[in-house]
Amino acid sequence: MYETFTPDLALSLAKRLEIHYTPKHVSWLNIAEIELSALTVQCLHRRINSIEQLQREATAWEADRNQAQKSVHWHFTTEQARGKLKHLYPVI
């Protein structure tokens, strides 16, 4: 960042960054979208009257989901991806 911005601006931007580990072979964004979809369908499918009720219900849903140890089962293999998305996988 210091190569692109002035030192003051680079430091200001760096302080706003939060770096998260991303697994090498898993799309964490897809997993997050799946979980948010499940939360919406299973918990947020109706009107909720207050933020406190929302927090209670979301916390209860999260505890149930964690207790059940739900996981994602990928059906799209690397070979399928290379065939379907061949423009993204150049031949070396």
Give the domain range for residue 24. Answer: 7-71
**Full pLDDT tens readout for the chain, 92 residues:** 888 999 999 999 989 988 776 666 566 777 888 888 989 998 888 888 999 999 999 999 999 989 998 777 777 777 887 788 777 766 66
From 79, 78, 68, select the one nearest 25 (Cα to Cα): 78
- 76 found inside a domain: no
Question: How many domains does the chain contain in total?
Answer: 1
Predicted pLDDT at 23: 62
- 2 found inside a domain: no
- 89 found inside a domain: no
In angstroms, the CA 21 to CA 13 distance is 19
- 42 found inside a domain: yes
Predicted pLDDT at 85: 78
- 21 found inside a domain: yes
The pTM (predicted TM-score) of the whole model is 0.49
> Crossing angle, helix 28-42 and helix 51-67, to 10 degrees?
120
Predicted pLDDT at 53: 93
